[in-house]
Structure 1
């Protein structure tokens, strides 16, 4: 079938099924019955001469052809949405879905307060949060697959815009009652205990200053300086040990509270648990690193009132933390 004869709504169904891997979940998002979603998918399968998805116990498994189509369909739908969108954006009554790429650190730091503000002032606005630890985050901005990225960056391509949301500092944490919780904390005492380390996916090219290169951008990741800086010359036995390396932040605190492992994490991420007494912040034997959590978007959105509103709300959400 010629592309011009295809119903574009079929691709909306394809995109939803691809993201959810479920006809039922796709039907809820599209406000259609599962039967209607199945029928639309059947029409698209016939038009493209490919099954596109195969039902498995784990969900709808995409075929090779579906995986090839997916990024182009997603980018195309995003461009159509942008082209049809009016310049007027009235938060109180304009329906819109924003796509944000963020790590679990940025999500935990931003989303609770952001969700509260959106629920109060923009009831028709929905959020879709995507992983930030993929190496194609910048490409997703370029392809209009996401609207905003929340992350830590150094250099950025000139076609991207940025806004500082929060300056955060590194904090070394241990469980309550840990041997390091009493007495002076020195480098020597710190390296006596192994670390649980966050190494985001794609960080194999990490440089010594804690930045990695992604699609022309240098992105900040937390580094365990005890594991890097304390490796001295010949005969120097002062060296930390990464006992557990994980690809995200979410499991670090449970590991820390259950063991004698210690971890370096952003202050805003661990503050609540410190206040609850589940973990303690150790005195650093050196000045802390300062990280800059930023919102980044494409310059094509400079005139998009909705994206400008979203970035403002992200900044508002972090204002109490910043203070």
Structure 2
């Protein structure tokens, strides 16, 4: 329908319901009655000839048409808000909360450096960290419920932007005194022992080469390369996944009480060695190297506050003192 015939206030209602998945939640944010929200939705449904939201087990579930419209509406309203405000972002005076989706790996390795960097510069900036292992994390990014996602990504759709924080590599970790530590480590010997695997979504179902496609974003949810390569090889190697967990923090305690083997990001492995009495094995192959990225929706490029925080995070991870602290497991 022609935009000149549409009440733009209806789009604000649409965005609030999309974010809260609730008529009552939207009414609280907009400071209007639930009845007014329902009336606005009825008008919008009639104008767009679609139900837009239907009752579901977790609230008001968006239809396919609503999901298609969501990003464009949020982007348009953001542009209008930017044009109306055009306020300079002053870190020392800013009062704001940024929402970051991250694994426990990023919370341990990256988050302390972010806090150390921004706390003196912007004392009223708050950070809220959400688990990245939710299957709908990209939808939350699209809907504006999350500002940034930190993780390992391959392909990104045009609406997403990427900033690389640093390059990470893999390390194979066992308990101290493990039989593998006595003698040269080979692929064959590695497969003599069961493995504990980190599956960031709690299931490898739908993953290809350790990645899943989440609304066009290819994100890593499985880090055990040895098992994947063995399944694809013709060398007759077979690996056994004895335990799979959705969090890196669960791995060291499991290794301490068993002869299991785990692949961890190297910086986290170094920390585990220092704190949990584990050992890093010499690999019989060149370790895989991957970029740890922070992705966000393209609308963040028009947000002075978001741009400032991106710059601070990049500076924190590029600082030689910071990187030295990272590699030695210090906070």
1:68 and 2:60 matched: yes
Shift of 1:218: 1.1
Shift of 1:223: 3.2
Question: Where do 1:96-107 residues align within 5 Å?
Answer: 96-107=96-107
Equivalent position of 1:286 in the other structure: 285
TM-score (norm 2): 0.71
Confirm or deny: 8 A CA contact 1:87 1:303 kept in the other structure.
no
Confirm or deny: 8 A CA contact 1:79 1:144 kept in the other structure.
no
Question: Where do 1:62-211 residues align within 5 Å?
Answer: 67-68=59-60, 83=81, 86-201=86-201, 203-208=204-209, 210-211=210-211
TM-score (norm 1): 0.73
Please, which runs of 5 or more residues in structure 1 have no aligned partner? 19-36, 49-62
Farther off after superposition, 247-256 or 161-170: 247-256
Tell me the SS of whatever aligns to 1:114: helix
Shift of 1:228: 2.5
d(CA) in 2 for partners of 1:179 and 1:66?
Answer: 49
Alignment CA distance shift 1:87-1:203 (3 Å):
farther
Equivalent position of 1:22 in the other structure: none
Instruction: Count residues with an aligned counterpart.
Output: 279
Shift of 1:230: 2.6
Please, which runs of 5 or more residues in structure 2 have no aligned partner? 1-8, 23-27, 39-54
Alignment CA distance shift 1:247-1:125 (3 Å):
same
Tell me the SS of whatever aligns to 1:205: coil
State the superposition RMSD in angstroms: 3.6
Farther off after superposition, 243-252 or 82-91: 82-91
1:133-162 deviation digits (Å, cap 9, x = unpaired): 223222222211111111111110112111
